[in-house]
Copies of this chain bind each other. A is one copy, B any other.
Amino acid sequence: MQKEIALQDLSQDKEFERYESQFKALADKKRLHIMNILTQRGKTCVCDLAPLMGMTQSKLSYHLKILWDAGIIHKETKGTNSYYSINMKEINHLLSHELCCIFKPSC
């Protein structure tokens, strides 16, 4: 049954890859700070986020893309503005209740 084992390994590998990208997204102080601000403020425009983070637009876009690619934030464009917000479903799926609190306005 070598094939089945191989298939299982493959799907486990895919699973690990997904978590790898999500943990990578969270594995940065600046991005955790972004997540925290998005939690406190809710849906927020890049142009508002940049001064709050003390970051250039280019750098901020880079980090937002990493969070968005990992599926842990939402993105919405209106006119020339982009608004980002927490994907609470993914965060709840990923993190402990205790840790989710860091990303919840109520805590």
Contacts and interface: CB of A to CB of B under 8 A. Distances in A.
Interface of A: 12-13, 15-17, 19-20, 23-24, 26-29, 32-33, 36, 92-99, 102
A28 B27 CA distance: 11
Contact of A27 (B27, B96, B98, B99): B27
A27 B99 CA distance: 17
B19 A26 contact: yes
Nearest to A92: B96
A36 B15 CA distance: 12
B27 A23 contact: yes
A44 B95 CA distance: 26
Residue from the set A13, A96, A97 with the largest chain B CB neighbour count within 10 Å: A96
Given A94-B95, A98-B93, A26 B23 contact: yes
